[in-house]
Amino acid sequence: MRPRRYFAPAIITVLALGWLSGHTIAEQKSIKEQLVGTWSFVSSNAKLTDGRSLWGEHAKGLFIITQSGHFSWQVFRSDRPRFASHKRLEATPAELKANNQGMLAYFGTYSVNEADSVVTFFTQASTFPNSEGEVIERIITRLTADELVYTNPANTSGQRVEAVWKRAK
């Protein structure tokens, strides 16, 4: 009876699978590496006290995250009124109020807790001055090459807010 030669193909298969899985693990990017880039605002479930959407329809926003640990975040309502005077420093009180209530922007530095999928932002400046110096945490709930979804456990109104961003192309 002749011995069967299954041993060599089995070893080759095991080695190949081991190499492929090790190769895949080596290519897996950290959360920080995946976050780096420019993101465009898609949506948020944040609400005003009367139940309307905080950002309205067709809001515009940009979220820039750098490899060096800096970020810039801004969202603007699309229905903010234009200033009748066409001069930024000569707007009426009503125009200033609508503009201020229809935007938020801040920038600073950030760090990532990879184990908990939490990004911590250290705000240096903001259109809302009370946020300057604030530490803000966001929980990453979905992150792909083209989509970023995070939650804010409690915004200034106490709401749990989810925001969706897509990678800018």
Interval 138-160: pLDDT, tens: 999 999 999 999 999 887 777 88
Percent pLDDT > 90 in the chain is 72
Given a cut of 50, is residue 80 above it in pLDDT? yes
- In this structure, CATH architecture of domain 29-167: Beta Barrel (2.40)
Q: What mean pLDDT value characterizes the chain?
A: 87
Q: Which amino acid is residue 13, in one-letter code?
A: T
Name the pLDDT band for 9 (thresholds 50, 70, 90): very low
Check residue 2 and give its pLDDT: 56
Compute CA 49 distance to the chain's CA centroid, rounded to the nearest angstrom: 24
CA dist., res. 155 & res. 47, Å (int):
10
Name the helix (H) or strand (E) containing 166: strand 161-167
| Mean per-residue pLDDT, 103-128 | 97
| Mean per-residue pLDDT, 78-100 | 94
Q: Contact at 8 Å (CB) between 105 and 83?
A: no
| Complete DSSP assignment for 70-83 | EEEEEEE-TTPPPP
Given a cut of 70, is residue 3 above it in pLDDT? no
Residue extents of the structural domains in the chain: 29-167
Given a cut of 60, is residue 165 above it in pLDDT? yes
Given a cut of 80, is residue 119 above it in pLDDT? yes
